[in-house]
Amino acid sequence: MNTWFDTITLLLILSNLALLGSSQLGFCIKVVAVQGIALGLLPILFGSAEWSVHAIVLATSALALKGVVFPWLLFKALRAADVRRETEPFVGYVLSIIFGVVALAVVLCMRSRLALPVSADLRLMVAIAFFTILVGFFLIVTRKKALTQVLGYLVLENGVYAFGTTISSEQPWLVEMGVLLDVFVAVFIMGIMIFHISREFDHIDTHRLARLSDWNQGETEESNP
Amino acid sequence: MTLALVLIPAAAALACFVIRYDALRRALLVATALAHLAMTAASWMKRPAPALGGWLAVDAGGLVFLSITSVLFLASALYALGYLKREPHGERKDFEEGVLFTNAPEAVFTGCLLFFLATMTLVTISQHFGLLWVAVEATTLASAPLIYFHRHDRSLEATWKYLLLCSVGIALALLGNFFLTVAASAPGSGPIPLVVADLMAQAGKLNVPWLKAAFVLLLIGYGTKMGLAPMHTWLPDAHSESPSLVSALLSGALLNCAFLGILRIQQVCSAAGIEAFGREAFIAFGLVSMAVAAVFIIAQTDFKRMLAYSSVEHMGILSLGVGLGGDGIFGAVFHAVNHSLTKGMLFLVAGNLLTVYATKSTARVRGILQLVPASGVLWVAGFLSITGAPPFGTFVSEFIILKAAFDKGYTAVAVTYLLLLSTIFAGMAAIVIRMAQGKAPEDQGPSRAEPLLALVPAAALGAFVLMLGLYLPPFLGRTLHEAAIMLGGS
């Protein structure tokens, strides 16, 4: 069981760093898919003592949604929008990775201070879950493309999911299903939105979606090439 | 019956996607609104039994917010009859930028409207934190297509911001829920269910640091949805770009629902004896929201955005009232009722103005009183009510909050509150009065006949607020007090 946890923890860390450092949208979608599959396996690994129906249903639905349905929807949106790479994010890729490493260090330092009702193994997983949440936030804030923002949101949601499955084995499964369902519909709607954005403007650059603002009426004009 | 409150609108929503006739769908919309209001009224007579093992129950706080939602929805549904008749199918020109756009299919609009009602109802009657979270997320998903009814680029931008910001907020709220789970996993006695009543009964066993962390995350998460500054940035866009009746529902009903989510966790916190912890955060968020709203109202050139910022202001007042505690909580609950009715009325009237003038610019709308006198009177009355002028109910509730601030010794807070209120009054007066007075532009032609369906819902809401200022029916006062006490006030 320990090797499994180590593998998943390592996968989460590496995938987050890969997301921070890559400009290829297609690659990023694949990384998020891998992350989703790793997380989907989590509930089964915990329940190894008792293979409950709850754990299996949760794991299969998480695997199907996070590993297959979301990436498929996002690839569809990517094709519809016809862009392959993210150009010029607000924060460069090298700086992003440095942020990632610093965040990882901070989270690992915090790990020992958390008063959690879980074992030391799981405490590491909780710390990595927080790391994933931070990376998700960072992606949403610093990337321009609507698609990468959706990816960031998924990473954020993955982090929350990892935290939830790690600490709360008593949570009624209805709530967990609700989580998955909501994420599913959110991504579904966001996929449609990306499609519309690309059709409306021939681009999916949210930075240019800045007409409705009380602050920078002049600024948007000059940033449009 | 508790279950029926949610299931009937949901079933009607599904039916809307199947029905092929516009007239039938519109009839169904109004019928469902009436049925919902009837069930809500019945809940006032006798509280319905809890359902789903106590996960769904109508308590005093939930009942107040449920009634606001129900009344406002009926007004909006009636308004929608006239509105949808005026909205042509097919391509047409956007009056601001001249781009061509089409509306979303009417089936989607009506269906989502009903689904929106179902989800908001679920928020108000959820007693379980997990279910509450699912319901709040569902309101976002049901309302996004409503904001994107006019399919042009500005509404798309508004919808995008709304979806992204509220989803991030809701993700934080979920994390807050998990923290709450940790706080409720008391060692020895086993986990406490996340039902409000259970948590309150065993509040002593809750792990305080985790409860505090959960409170902060839920406050920020649901606060984003509620439109508290500085997480309010989606609000002016969504409220100004969506159809007016949707703006009325977003502003009057949805923001309250998010507020209820925050009140629930505050309820648990006060049972655990750490209500003072949240108090300063509530006061700070309240004053910051009011200040941000004041700044953006003064220089506003778009009257729907002005109303949206006014919502940010009033959410700030609610937050402030809760932060003050004691009578302030009663004031906040009462103010939620007054604000919702008034803001619903104002957005519906704004919709009328939009139809007549075809512009949202405050500079180009002149002479409302001359051109459309009935809407003009409602517009000015709505302005007086929203800025807290007597004898409207808003005046009473704002005054109760002010008094609570002085009573509790928060003199600086009270003075700031008064200052911000008067700034906003002056800022809105400059805009609204100029719009109402004067001569209508030449090209608008002579004064027009106004359809009854565009006036009656707004007038009824206005009359309601006026009545609340002069006479608070005892049954309503009792329930408001009960809600305030439930939330740790008096």
* Facing A193 at nearest CB: one of B137, B160, B182: B160
Burial of B284 (0-12, 13-18, 19+ CB in 10 A): middle
Query: Which residues of B are less than 8 Å from A179 in CB distance?
Result: 134, 174
Angle between the B60-86 and B255-271 helix axes, to the nearest 10 degrees? 170
Asked if B138 and A146 come within 8 Å (Cβ–Cβ), the reply is no
Asked if B182 and A170 come within 8 Å (Cβ–Cβ), the reply is no
Residue A100: C-alpha distances to residues A17, A95, A133, A191, B348 (Å): 6, 9, 11, 27, 48
Q: Does B138 touch chain A (CB under 8 A)?
A: yes
CA distance B472 to B490: 17
* Facing A179 at nearest CB: one of B174, B191, B305: B174
CA distance B265 to B81: 38
The tokens for B396 are 């009473």
Q: Which residues contact B101 (CB under 8 A, 6 or more apart)?
A: B91, B92, B94, B150, B151, B152
Say if CB B321 and CB B401 are below 8 A apart. Answer: yes
**pLDDT score of A118:** 63
Say if CB B40 and CB B72 are below 8 A apart. Answer: no
Closest CA to B107 of B152, B151, B146: B146
H or E segment at B186?
strand B185-186
CA distance A21 to B19: 50
| Residue A95 clears pLDDT 70, i.e. is over it | yes
ipTM confidence: 0.85
Phi and psi at residue B302, in whole multiples of 5°?
-130, 120
For A200, nearest residue in chain B (alpha carbons): B153
Query: Which residues of B are less than 8 Å from A212 in CB distance?
Result: 154, 157-158, 161, 236-237, 240-241
Q: Which residue has the higher pLDDT, A198 or B278?
A: B278
CA distance A86 to A83: 8
Mean of per-residue pLDDT scores for chain B: 90
For B168, nearest residue in chain A (alpha carbons): A153
Strand partners, A205: A145
A·B CB contacts under 8 A: 108
In total, chain B counts a number of residues equal to 490
The helix/strand/coil state of B93 is: strand
Say if CB B428 and CB B384 are below 8 A apart. Answer: no
Residue A141 Cα, gap to closest chain B Cα (Å): 11
**pLDDT score of A222:** 36
pTM for this prediction: 0.91
| Residue B335 clears pLDDT 90, i.e. is over it | yes
CA distance B219 to A222: 37
Query: Which residues of A are less than 8 Å from B207 in CB distance?
Result: 115
Q: Which residues contact A25 (CB under 8 A, 6 or more apart)?
A: A78, A83, A84, A85, A86, A145, A147, A148
Residue B4 Cα, gap to closest chain A Cα (Å): 20
Place of tokens 């992204």: B164
CA distance A191 to B239: 23
| Residue B368 clears pLDDT 80, i.e. is over it | yes
Q: Which residue has the higher pLDDT, B199 or B444?
A: B199
Query: Which residues of A are less than 8 Å from B156 in CB distance?
Result: 193, 196-197, 200, 209
The sign of the dihedral angle between the CA atoms of B312, B314, B316, B319 is negative
Q: Which residues contact A42 (CB under 8 A, 6 or more apart)?
A: A8, A59, A162, A165, A166
Residue B159 Cα, gap to closest chain A Cα (Å): 8
Burial of A45 (0-12, 13-18, 19+ CB in 10 A): middle
How many H helices and E strands in chain B? Answer: 20, 4
**pLDDT score of A209:** 67
| Residue B186 clears pLDDT 80, i.e. is over it | no
**CB neighbours of residue B27 within 10 Å:** 13
Interval B186-213 mean pLDDT: 84
For B138, nearest residue in chain A (alpha carbons): A182
* Facing B178 at nearest CB: one of A167, A172, A185: A167
Residue B91: C-alpha distances to residues B119, B145, B147, B152, B277 (Å): 31, 18, 18, 11, 54
For A191, nearest residue in chain B (alpha carbons): B160
Residue B438: C-alpha distances to residues B366, B367, B432 (Å): 6, 5, 12
**pLDDT score of A81:** 74
Query: pLDDT, tens digit, for every residue of A58-73?
Result: 788 888 888 888 888 8
The DSSP code for B191 is: E
Which alpha helices (H) appear in chain A, and where do they start and end? 2-21, 25-46, 53-62, 70-81, 93-111, 120-142, 146-167, 173-201, 217-223
Query: pLDDT, tens digit, for every residue of A32-51?
Result: 999 999 888 877 776 555 56
